[in-house]
Chains A and B, each alone.
Chain A
Amino acid sequence: MDVKTWTFLIVGLSFALYIAIAIRSRANSTGEFYVAGKGVPSLANGMATAADWMSAASFISMAGLISFMGRDGAMYLMGWTGGYVLLALLLAPYLRRFGKFTVPDFIGDRYYSNAARVVAVLCAVFVSFTYVAGQMRGVGVVFSRFLEVEVNTGVIVGMVIVLIYAVLGGMKGITYTQVAQYCVLIFAYLVPAIFISIMLTGNPVPQLGLGSNVLENGVPGTVSLLDKLNGLSADLGFQAYTDGQKSTIDVFFITAALMVGTAGLPHVIVRFYTVKRVKDARISAFWALLFIAILYTVAPAVGVFARTNLLETIPNKEYAALPDAKSEGGWFKNWERSDLIAWVDKNGDGKIQYTDGKAFVGKPSFRENSQGEPVLGKHGERLLANEKTEGVNELYVDRDIMVLANPEIAGLPNWVIALVAAGGLAAALSTAAGLLLVISTSVAHDLVKRTINPGISEKGELWTARIAAGGAVIIAGWFGINPPGFVAQVVAFAFGLAASSFFPAIILGIFWKRANLYGVISGMIVGIVFTSSYIIYFKFVNPAVNSSDHWLFGISPEGIGTIGMLVNFVIACGVSLVSKAPPAEVQDMVDRVRYPREALESTDS
């Protein structure tokens, strides 16, 4: 069977499974819709949290990013897992004890202010939409490449699937679908990694394959895989893979911003409300990180394997001699047809020169004739309208394709390639569903029930939540079909914003009783204004000077959220100290968050 048939089969089966689960576990009350009736077992919640946490970016893009960044790629690995540690130790158990549904609920009650609640709702909705748009784009890429449908059709199919199980099942439906999606995605990630690890090093454990020696004629040789990759890189004029490229201070601050930003992501925090007791919340946090770590420790190995295979198969090969698109081994031309690989024959020798530097300015823009057909060069390659650069490099490879193309580059069987497509979809859909639920909960619960119409009936609230979820899916789909050109910048924005606003407010709310409304609001405002002006200046107003010479202390806009967070902390503490302490009932509330409920029973009930 060919790849397309396999993909239809595997993706179709996985979708049928998700919908069947959603129908079996649909929600009947707001409690079930928001937090699955607080009855999810720890292990299942751990798997669901892992699927929620690992987005299309983790599954599709991360290993590719690492394979191009070398050692600096660790900022994503440490940032996203280290942030989880902060979440599990500093936030999740306490918010679980608080016992309401959402983070805006906590902010609103702890700082005794509906204005703070509304600001928190807006931040949560903004962060969630930014993320969902990225997931929808991931769905579109997988569909267009593997099922050869339009990206837009892919996005619409994805929307319908999410709509069915998010609107019908609420958190209960999403949780059990996410358990299934975790199993699909981790299987899909591990199978090709294990195959390629055995092919390259003979070691079936990819984490160990990373440090093993390369096979020579089927037996382990004397050269380690990383030394071989460093040698290949040096021969072609790239920096050694195991060396860093960015400055230490920049890596430090970007890692910190990613950690703190992810710790504040609303869709993961809400997962800890779905288990019975605080004790279960802690255990499920452990399961979740264990399940996440399985993928995150394989990703750097996948990065090395993909980079080695790419550098061994493509540089200095004749373009015309590469297998045709749609034929066996035709991955290079397949991805060129999907606009994600591009080659310009600068020196006219018909061979692909690949070295450090950009081949041309910007993202590839392929030339088309008046009938909309691609214009081909003399070797059959698609011609580009982009301005060429001075450098020798002739090749553009989109970083997002490395994981998806990896099994094809390594020549793995067709069913493995189809499996990877299903895994990418599982990762994107599980995260999208979790985020959509946050949006719908924020609107129905925090905005309508707690602020606008407190008298709304249980049934009315449930329907408001369903309608909000449906509306959110449609808006997210619209962004997936018409992606704003600045998605990448907006993602940096979302992390910076989460780091410089939410995180200090929640931490102070739990660990410092003296923190009050005035302090936290001024801290949030200064943090957000500082962080967003820095990002807006370098990304939108004056992108020409976006280089380390002009940055504050050499910190890039991606890492500035860390400084914003520190500023927020300082201001929040200072202003809290000079204004009056929070009311007694709020201080009692902090006690309820800090101690087990049984320890306070006499004062509590």
Chain B
Amino acid sequence: MSKTPSAAARARYWRKNLSWLGALLSVWFMVSYGCGILFVDQLDKFKLGGVPLGFWFAQQGSIYVFVVLIAVYVLVMNRLDRELLGEKFQ
């Protein structure tokens, strides 16, 4: 049986986990509250395929980004788990 990761490795794992969460939630905030609510009128001056851009972010775009965010999260966390656990990761 392989050895259990050191306390330092665990602390590193948790720090990386937190910084990824911070990055993903910043994007989450920017597309929904930023593009969809706070700056919606400014973005509405541009159009995306017949839809004002701010309106598009509020009613379509933010949801697409949310799906991508969770996909990225799944991949990143699998990588972090593998780094921490080595061959014990399954």
Instruction: Name A's B-contacting residues (CB within 8 A).
Output: 66, 71, 73-74, 77-78, 81-82, 84-85, 88-90, 93, 207-208, 210-213, 224-226, 242, 244, 248, 251-252, 255-256, 279, 282-283, 285-286, 289-290, 293, 296-297, 300, 511, 591, 594-596, 598-603
B1-25 CB mask vs A (1 if < 8 Å, else 0) is 0001100011001100110010011
**Besides the contacts A596-B84, A596-B85, what 20 more A-B pairs have beta carbons closer than 8 Å?**
A66-B59, A71-B59, A74-B55, A74-B59, A78-B63, A81-B63, A207-B60, A224-B51, A226-B51, A283-B74, A286-B67, A286-B70, A289-B67, A289-B70, A297-B64, A300-B59, A594-B17, A595-B10, A598-B88, A599-B9
* Contacting residue for A595 out of B25, B50, B64, B84, CB 8 A: B84
Give the residue of B58, B60, B89 whose beta carbon is less than 8 angstroms from that of A297: B60
Question: In the complex, what residues of A have CB within 8 A of residue B73's CB?
Answer: 88-89, 282, 286
**Distance, CA A386 to CA B89, complexed state (A):** 67
Contacts of B85 in A (CB 8 A): 596, 598-599
**With A210-B51, A594-B14, A598-B88 given, is the CB distance from A90 to B21 under 8 Å?**
yes
Alpha-carbon gap, A207 to B64, bound state (A): 11
The interface centre, meaning the residue of A82, A213, A602 with most chain B CB atoms within 10 A of its CB, is A82
Instruction: Determine chain B's interface SS by DSSP, over half rule.
Output: helix
Specify which chain B residues have a CB less than 8 angstroms from the CB of A71 in the assembled complex: 40, 55, 58-59
Q: How far is B81's CA from A285's CA once the two chains are assembled, in angstroms?
A: 17
A598 to B85, CA, bound (A): 7
B36 CB contacts on chain A under 8 angstroms: 74, 78
Q: A599 touching B62 by the CB < 8 A rule?
A: no
The answer to whether B50 and A225 have CB atoms under 8 Å apart is yes
Residues of B with C-beta under 8 A to A602: 4
- Which residue, of B9, B17, B62, has the highest number of chain A Cβ atoms within 10 A? B62
* Nearest Cβ on chain A to B65's Cβ, whole angstroms: 9
Residues of chain A within 8 A of B24, CB atoms compared: 89
Give the Cβ gap from A315 to chain B, nearest Cβ, in Å.
24
Q: Would you call B50 and A279 a contact (CB within 8 A)? A: no
Residue in chain B with minimal CB distance to A78: B32
Chain B residue nearest to A209 (CB atoms) is B50
Contact A293 B64 (CB under 8 A): yes
Counted as pairs of residues, one from A and one from B, with CB atoms less than 8 Å apart, the total is 133
For B48, what are the chain A residues with a Cβ–Cβ distance below 8 Å?
Answer: 211
Q: Which residues of A contact B5 (CB under 8 A)?
A: 599
Pair A73/B59 contact, Cβ less than 8 Å: yes
For the complex, give the distance between the alpha carbons of A225 and B51 in Å.
9
Q: Which residues does chain B contribute within 8 Å of A66, judged by CB atoms?
A: 59
Given contacts A82-B28, A244-B40, contact A211 B59 (CB under 8 A): no
Residues of chain A within 8 A of B25, CB atoms compared: 89
Within 8 A of A (CB), among B41-56: 44, 48-52, 55-56
Contacts of B63 in A (CB 8 A): 77-78, 81, 293, 296-297
A593 to chain B, nearest CB (A): 11
- Bound complex: CA A279 to CA B81 (Å): 9
The residue from A74, A88, A93, A599 contacting B58, defined by CB atoms under 8 A apart: A74
B84 touches A599 (CB 8 A): yes
List the B side residues contacting A286 at CB < 8 Å: 67, 70-71, 73-74
Determine which of B18, B28, B74 lies in contact with A85 in the assembled complex, contact meaning CB atoms within 8 Å.
B28
Give the Cβ gap from A254 to chain B, nearest Cβ, in Å.
10
Q: How far is the CA of A487 from the CA of B87 in the complex (A)?
A: 54
Give me 9 A-to-B residue pairs in the complex whose CB atoms sit less than 8 angstroms apart, sorted by A's number: A71-B40, A78-B58, A210-B51, A211-B48, A224-B51, A286-B70, A290-B67, A300-B59, A595-B10
| Closest-CB distance, B10 to chain A (whole angstroms) | 6
* A72 nearest CB neighbor, chain B only: B58
- Which residue in chain B gives the minimum CB-CB distance to A93? B77
Q: A74-B36, A85-B66, A90-B21 are in contact. Are A242 and B77 (CB under 8 A)?
A: no
The docked-state distance in angstroms from the alpha carbon of A450 to that of B17 is: 33
Q: Quick check: A293 and B49 within 8 Å, CB to CB?
A: no
Residues of chain A lying within 8 A (CB to CB) of residue B32: 78, 82, 255
Given the complex of chains A and B, what is the CA–CA distance between A207 and B10 in angstroms?
Answer: 44
- Residues from chain A with Cβ under 8 Å of B13 in the complex: 595, 599
Interface pair A255/B37, CB less than 8 Å apart: yes
Q: Which B residue sits closest to A79, measured CB to CB?
A: B32
B4 to chain A, nearest CB (A): 5
Do A293 and B66 touch (CB < 8 A)? yes
Which 9 residue pairs are nearest across A and B when measured between Cβ atoms?
A74-B58, A211-B50, A300-B59, A224-B50, A211-B49, A211-B51, A602-B4, A598-B88, A286-B70
CB nearest to A230 among chain B residues: B52
Nearest B-chain residue to A74, judged by Cβ: B58
A282 near B77 with CB under 8 A, answer yes
Most A C-beta atoms less than 10 A away, residue of B5, B33, B66, B81: B66
Closest to B49 in A: A211
A251: B residues at CB distance < 8 A: 37
> What is the bound-complex CA distance between A418 and B85, given in angstroms?
53
Shortest C-beta distance, B51 to chain A (Å), equals 4
Q: How far is the CA of A84 from the CA of B67 in the complex (A)?
A: 10
CA distance A212 to B51 in the complex (A): 8
Q: CB < 8 Å: which of B21, B52, B69 contacts A242? A: B52
CA–CA, A73 and B73, complex, Å: 28
CB nearest neighbor in B for A511: B18
Known contacts A225-B50, A226-B50, A595-B10; decide if A242 and B55 are in contact (CB<8 Å).
yes
Contact between chains at B38 and A248 (CB < 8 Å): yes
Complex: A599 Cα to B8 Cα, angstroms: 12
Question: For B64, what are the chain A residues with a Cβ–Cβ distance below 8 Å?
Answer: 293, 297
Contact for A81 among B9, B52, B66, CB less than 8 A: B66
Distance in angstroms from B86 CB to nearest chain A CB is 9
* CB atoms of B21 and A77 under 8 A apart: no
Q: Are A89 and B21 in contact (CB under 8 A)?
A: yes
Least CB distance from A204 to B in Å reads 15
B40 CB to closest chain A CB (Å) equals 7
For the complex, give the distance between the alpha carbons of A211 and B51 in Å.
5
User: Which residues in A have their C-beta under 8 angstroms from that of B67?
Assistant: 286, 289-290, 293
